[in-house]
Amino acid sequence: MIETKVETVIKRPISEVFLYVRNMLNQTSYNKSIHEVEVINPEATEYKIQIDLGIFKLNEIYKIEEVVDNKLIIASCTANGMKFTDRYEFSEKEKECHLTIIDKMELRGLFKLSEGLVKMNLKSQMNENLTALKEILES
């Protein structure tokens, strides 16, 4: 299993950051591995996403598993050969939002052979995505 953690402080109110991140349609604005997002249920808890992880491309369902307003979002995706879970943690520090994102990815079968390459690239990609998110929200 690959676990990657990134964090930053965004100079915006926690409620604003939470609402932006909770709307998974915004992922294409700051997550360069997400190419398309489409809501597939009225509760906006399931999304069809197109992901390009470099070594493989996926069209899968991304499910919101848990939401605690202004505190936590947990979402996951299961595909042939892999499963990943994203945990978004929000906390307030001096009227700014401290955001931590933890990605847990499990590669299976032949995909397991690419674990080293994925692990190397995932941290830098997550940092780039977080920087882009911060720039969007602070502009």
Residue 42: which residues within 8 A CB-CB, separation 6 or more? none
Instruction: With 0.75 as the threshold, say if the pTM is over it.
Output: yes
The residue among 10, 18, 137, 25 whose CA lies nearest residue 89 is 18
- How many angstroms separate the CA atoms of 113 and 126, rounded? 21
Q: What is the mean pLDDT of the chain?
A: 91
Q: What is the pLDDT of residue 115?
A: 75
Q: Which long-range CB contacts under 8 A does 134-137 form with residues at least 24 apart?
A: 134/8, 134/10, 136/20, 136/29, 136/30, 137/10, 137/12, 137/16, 137/17, 137/20
Nearest of 32, 10, 5 to residue 129 by alpha carbon: 32
Calculate Rg over the CA atoms of the chain.
15
Q: Which pLDDT value is given to residue 55? A: 64
pLDDT truncated to tens, each residue of the chain (139 aa)? 889 999 999 999 999 999 999 999 999 999 998 999 999 998 999 999 998 866 667 899 999 999 999 999 999 998 877 899 999 999 998 899 999 999 999 988 777 777 777 777 888 899 999 999 999 999 9
CATH classification number, 2-138, choose in 3.40.190.10, 3.30.530.20, 3.40.630.30, 3.40.1360.10: 3.30.530.20
Q: pLDDT value at position 111?
A: 72
Structure tokens at 83: 């499963």
